[in-house]
Amino acid sequence: MKFITTATISLCCLAVAPSAQALNFNFITTGMSSDATTALNLAASSWSSKLFDPVTINITVNMTNLNNARVIAGASSIDLWTSYTPLRDLLVSDAANEADNGIVSYLPTASQFSAFLPTGITKTGYLAATKANFKALGEMDLDNQFGINDGTINFNSGFAFDYDASNGITSGTMDFETVAAHEIGHILGFISVVDDIDYMLANNQSGAVTPYLLDLFRFGTSANPTTTADFSTMSRDLRPTVASYFDDLSTQAPFSTGAFTGDSYQASHWKETGSNLWGIMDPAIAYSQIAGISKYDLRAMDLIGYEVTAVPLPPAIWLFAGGLLAWTRFARRSLLNTH
């Protein structure tokens, strides 16, 4: 729960409105050339020009040999869990100032929330988001509580990269800026628990899992919501192998279904099409390919708690009184593959 005080704008003196801010990135880099760092900052700008939450995201970035001919880069995020209701309510509260985000208020309550899950898999009752995502939702003091890092990106030095997309991408190389923007997207919160489930199934494990915010918008073809009532009550589909879609009643885009038991691409991505049809969060890119942030990427970020329209800095004190019952871990890595 978040309280916003609204009466703190001074009547004195200056008539200048509070200026809007953008998402700010702070990179801690190792092994990165100046060209690579320049391209990394351009990738960050591609998000900062579209997301306006006044917070700083700290990302550790390494250029290192991943010894994998198919993996261009990988990201791991710091993730936090809390009880379902306070995080659900925080998301609803955060979306309240964006007129086109009315659907968020229809997210299932704890008693309404259900999901299709494979045999042997259950829900913990918690809800997860990346630490960066929590920052965008207005949660304060996380760097003091959990350390400043919000996630880590490892670029595979085994690939040849082109660090300047402005003049096209040299044949046989990867567009570094596209890859970087993709990995940043995971750390911001484009993650699905379906990848954890997929891993468990592939290793004959059973147990309880914690869905991420993006999973609240994940439906299968067997339960396709068409009304706000459907959106509140229909089961989300968290089964790898099952065709599933991002759905907010007005936007629909297919997800990948799992690297091990699904369609061979991690479920924390749009569906692979071979042409980056859906956006920067497609699971694979080809040599020489340049991809940008799509309306689907942006809608997903919008609905998990980012501000996609510039708003004045709130004259506000943000508190979270729900009791953040959180602990940290590194998420299983999200990998960007070649076609």
Which residues here bind Zn ion, judged by CB under 5 A? Answer: 334, 336
Nearest residue (CB) to Zn ion, 217 versus 255: 255
Task: Tell me the two tokens of residue 338.
Answer: 């070649």
Nearest residue (CB) to Zn ion, 73 versus 121: 73
Nearest residue (CB) to Zn ion, 244 versus 334: 334
Phi, psi values for residue 122, rounded to 5°: -130, 170
C-beta separation of 107 from 219 below 8 A: no
Provide, rounded to whole angstroms, the least separation between the CB of residue 313 and Zn ion: 32
Provide, rounded to whole angstroms, the least separation between the CB of residue 235 and Zn ion: 26
Task: Tell me the two tokens of residue 240.
Answer: 């790898």
Provide, rounded to whole angstroms, the least separation between the CB of residue 76 and Zn ion: 11
**Burial of 305 per CB tally in 10 Å (0-12, 13-18, 19+):** buried
CA-CA-CA-CA torsion sign (309, 310, 316, 317): positive
Provide, rounded to whole angstroms, the least separation between the CB of residue 305 and Zn ion: 19
CA-CA-CA-CA torsion sign (235, 236, 240, 246): positive
Could you give the CA distance from residue 129 to residue 111 in angstroms, rounded to a whole number?
Answer: 20
Provide, rounded to whole angstroms, the least separation between the CB of residue 283 and Zn ion: 6
Provide, rounded to whole angstroms, the least separation between the CB of residue 242 and Zn ion: 20
Nearest residue (CB) to Zn ion, 44 versus 107: 44
Nearest residue (CB) to Zn ion, 123 versus 269: 269
Please report the beta strands in 133-263, taking only residues with DSSP state E, as ranges in sequence order: 151-156, 161-162, 174-175, 207-209, 218-220, 236-237, 244-247, 252-254
Nearest residue (CB) to Zn ion, 82 versus 268: 268
Residue nearest to Zn ion (CB): 334
